[in-house]
Structure 1
Amino acid sequence: MSALAWIAVGSLTAWGWLLLSQGFFWRTDQRLPHRESPADWPDVAVVVPARDEAEVLPLSLPTLLAQDYPGRAEVVLVDDNSSDGTGELARSLAARHGGLPLRLVTPGEPEPGWTGKLWALRHGIAAARERAPEFLLLTDADIAHAPDSLRELVAAARTGGFDLVSQMARLRVASGWERLVVPAFVYFFSQLYPFRRINRNGSRTAAAAGGCVLLRTQTAARAGVPDSIRQAVIDDVSLARAVRDAGGRIWLGLAERVDSVRPYPRLADLWRMVSRSAYAQLRHSPPVLVATVAGLALVYLVPPTALAAGLCTRDAVAASAGAAAWAVMTGTYLPMLRYYRQPPLLALTLPFTAALYLLMTVDSAVQHLRGRGAAWKGRTYARPEVAGDA
């Protein structure tokens, strides 16, 4: 066989392994597990870190204030040094809409060694603990919740005995670039952290989706969060690992009525979203970066390339293996496109989207080497070992 044929067969073999041995990552049936209404509804505090969120807050905060929750609940919004009037807007929205009581916390600038979101969560959780709630709902300022969201999350946690229940919010897919990039983002995440594997008892795989995390307060204290993960750029995965390492049970799935309202209309917006943390996901390791780029190329770029080159050179093995690998790739992407209500033909664009993600990952590493690190809303974070106290 030709070298191209061997590479194409390697890609097909990789897809065979992903299809059958990577926790059935391509399935989208992991939704909130069986739940029953508890006899007594526990107290809950909803903690919302917010930095310069005046654009999206009118779409998200009223949905939290309007939660139809049978027990006692409150919203603690942490105004993380916003310059756009986020705190004042939150107060006016609470006065206008009513519903759950709102408390506003202003922590000041983060101390060395803390990322901004975790610094905000530290103060929000501390304020919430003053009233000793059984659960904390950690949710981002761009996440809108259906009226029964909190009730369903608590019922699932109580029924299943979970210490952490997290839902991957449905991201916005309105612009052309969002349709091309966003479903693939969730697809790649689930490939890296298969939901079924995470939700299996005794599993060592742990992850959460930071936009919607219901966390048992006692477990958070036992795990030492957020202090124990204060340097984490990818805070949701770090949070889940800390809870698991403390003996807690975790569950992660796709949301049905929890939605992100943050727009990413341009490719540049999506590029920043991915590249700001991609290299941190690789633990700032050049060898891991090289392996990741090679892996992405083998799995996503080789199939269409082998098919086209094989047809042009009449290499039947390369063309057949490339076509088969591309077919498996396309088939595994279809469930995610259905979840996002996108046309099936969009599955054929996954190699192009994967090429974009490859470039975003390389750009993330380049920015890190230039000293810019992970950047978000005016703050830049270095790798943990130089970011401050360990």
Structure 2
Amino acid sequence: MSAMSNSNWSRRSLFRAAAGMAAAGSLAACGGNNGRGGGAGSGVALTQYFHAYGEAGTEQAIRKYAKAYDKAAVSTQWITSADFESKLFATLLTKNAPDLFEFHPQIQMVKSGQVADLTDIIEPVRNDFNPADITSHTVDGKIYGVRMIDDPQFFFYRKSMLEKAKVEVPTTLDELAEAAAKLTTGKVKGLYMGDDLHSVINPMIWSAGADTLDAKNQIAYHTPAVIEGIKKMRKLFTSGHLLLGAPTASWDPSSLNQGLCAIQFCGMWAMPSIQKALGDDWGVFPFPKTVDSGKPSVYNGGWSMFVNAKGKNVEAAKAYVKWLWIDQKKYQEEWATSFGFHIPPRTSIAQTATKLKSGNAAEGVRLFNEFGHFDNIGWTQAMITSLEDVFANAVRKDMDPEAALDKADTAVERELKKLFG
């Protein structure tokens, strides 16, 4: 869903940065009206924080769900996307802190005691969740956070533009660069991946057969194939075939819809909007192999619901989370498929979600299942920033990739030592 997903690294890094600061207790506290409503049912009042989603109907839906709950009065703070992370993490340090909030898996929040253990409410249905969604929210065997939606991200392309230029769907990063060159004509650029390219850093690493961290929480991104990938990305960045300075960020499909580019990296949430604008003149493909020995990849973003472990109503907040995000399957399916397309994290719901059964939506689900990579809860903001710096220095500027990765290693090792000893 456009603004709904942690759809590119720069967006996500803002959240992670705020999380890191909040965990360290360094954000300035700010008060203000938290919008708590009057009591209902047991007389408990709960406040939940959501960022302002891009699609019409989302705010009304969240408020509708809250109103249907009769065990507490649940009020919603619907916060402008740009302000969400700073508002959330500043407020978490005050007496006006929300009882529950949406966010992404973040190990500092667990280690600082900010988020409650939700194992007891998830355990009875854990086998109905995508196993990767359980893993990405688990620390030391305990589950923190209930996944609400899964947001796979891939390349969207205009079929007619590729046909006209006699371009096949790319299966390697080299082919993607060649396609971008052939598709660039007049006012149309071949490819759009955002100005900073943050959203494709991890897919490029995965498609090189590497990873951010391995199973033992050791650096796994510093490989010859990744170095090769960085060099290819540098060549692409300087080619003149990338759309840079687009009117909207890459999570918004407007550039593709308006014909400013032939191929755009975006998320599954955009499918209904693209279908409305382009009819059937579009398709999707995963991030292609960075090198011949690699494998295509799909980054799976998404949002999860967390309970504030430092709040006054932890058990009441957990009860609401259980009611809405575990028991109310009808609402969960509506949330995932009625305002943009997302994959429900619950297998039973994903299997019956009719809107995802045909056409490009079904293809998106297939790519997600075959090539999907999920968040690593131990991959922190400082680590994310270190790889963003690699792209800033070696792709957007002309630093030697090996030197850029060495610099990243130093920052990542420092974080790993703090977190895991």
- When the two structures are superposed, what TM-score results if normalisation uses the length of structure 1? 0.22
